[in-house]
Amino acid sequence: MDNYAVVGNPIEHSLSPRIHGLFAQQTGETFRYERRLAPLDGFVESVELFAAGGARGFNVTVPFKTQAHDWVDELDDEARAAGAVNTVVLEDGKSLGCNTDGIGLVRDLLHNQGLQIQGKQVLLLGAGGAVLGVIRRLLAENPARLVIANRTVSKALTLAVRLAEEYAEVGCEITGVGLGEVAGFYDLVINGTSAGLQGTGDLIDASVVRQAVCYDMVYGSSTPFTRWAAQAGAVRALDGLGMLVEQAAAAFYLWRGVHPETDQVLTELMRERAR
């Protein structure tokens, strides 16, 4: 039987085995998918042992996405641009590192949430690995303006300048600011900072989100960011469960050559969450 896994630390909370199990039931594919806890200082040894056992691939979650980028033999364009890998394909003794986070985010926004990105004012909180994994997919949808806000202003500015040069022909205004400098109106505010796990009320002024849809890339029925955004008057406050399902579907396709229907899986997970 083909073996797959999600590798991280911590890992016991991961919904990935449940999601891929639902994909398998739906598509008739047969394989084993497990959680694998890798020591913080032992990622390489852990995945090499897994690969040596005949594994066909694995997902990577925090805090190992950068290490996975450095470990694989080859990178796809998304992973190369992001500097991070969340999906590894193992075939013929070679490892291919991919990043499906951007695909997952955009598909959830457009297809599951019914939102538009084209022509919209978008605020992206953070300039780290999570943001690097999705920002090019967001820009490919042609927003009118993209503002990158980060606690370390220089990181936001550097990223904004690089992307403005790379996407000069798109016509999107791309700027970088500090979190305390964020002001004005936005259609969509996406939280890609780790602060979303601890609470985000002090990241930006509440007035910024009062006419916006707010989206947390972290998933959970009520994350600190979604709670804060709802209290601040956001139009909608969404967590990243749909993104998790959609990035998993993209990984499933890379491994199995079949793209599962995500609607019914997301519906089932929402039903289980509500119990």
Cα distance between residue 241 and residue 164, in whole Å: 30
For strands 188-191 and 173-178, give the pairing: unpaired
Residue 51 CA, chain-centre distance (Å), reads 24
Residue count of the chain, please give it. Answer: 275
Cα distance between residue 90 and residue 133, in whole Å: 21
* Structural contact between residues 8 and 38, judged by C-beta atoms closer than 8 angstroms: yes
Positive or negative: CA dihedral 50, 251, 263, 190 = positive
Catalytic residue chosen out of the listed positions 65, 94, 120, 155: 65
Whether 65 is a known active-site residue: answer yes
In three state form, how does the secondary structure of 33-86 look? EEEEECCCCCHHHHHHHHHHCCCCEEEECCCCHHHHHHHCCEECHHHHHHCCCC
What residues are annotated to the active site? 65
